[in-house]
Amino acid sequence: MDISNISAYVDYAKTQASTNASKVKDTAAKDYSQASDEELLGACKEFEAYLLEQVFKEMTKTTSFVDKDSAYGNLIDFFGDNVIQEMCKQSTQSQGLGIAEQLYEQMKRNYQI
């Protein structure tokens, strides 16, 4: 396995992280007063997945899998973020913590949908 061009992977990971954060900000900035139930629930699930992702990323900072300065450490950083992101997305779609459902019900009451 050639790991000589690891900086390209690290740059890609950083770009993906900033893209995900801006996507959540754009979703939160929308006016949901005329939104359908599916759109509203989708936005709530996106928020829950993003919240879980941030919690898991902070939790992984407290552990040490491998030396962060090594090439393998950069690979774990890159793929680890993708794994966390996908895991949170799948968790929210299947069962989640219930935050999305509670937020959805509250928004329905506020927007009277």
Query: Long-range pairs for 74-79 at CB < 8 Å and ≥24 separation?
Result: 74/6, 74/7, 74/9, 74/10, 75/3, 75/6, 75/9, 77/10, 77/13, 78/9, 78/10, 78/12, 78/13
- What is the tens place of the pLDDT at every residue in 72-86? 767 776 788 888 888
Return the pLDDT at 66: 64
pLDDT at 1: 45
Summarize pLDDT for 28-75 with one digit per residue, the tens: 666 666 778 888 888 899 999 999 999 988 888 887 766 666 667 677
pLDDT confidence bin for 17, thresholds 50/70/90: low
The burial class, CB within 10 Å (0-12 / 13-18 / 19+), for 6 is middle
Q: Where are the domains of the chain?
A: 6-28+36-111
CA 47, CA 106: separation in Å to the nearest integer? 14
- The yes-or-no verdict on residue 6 having pLDDT over 60 is no
Q: Is the pTM of this model over 0.75?
A: no
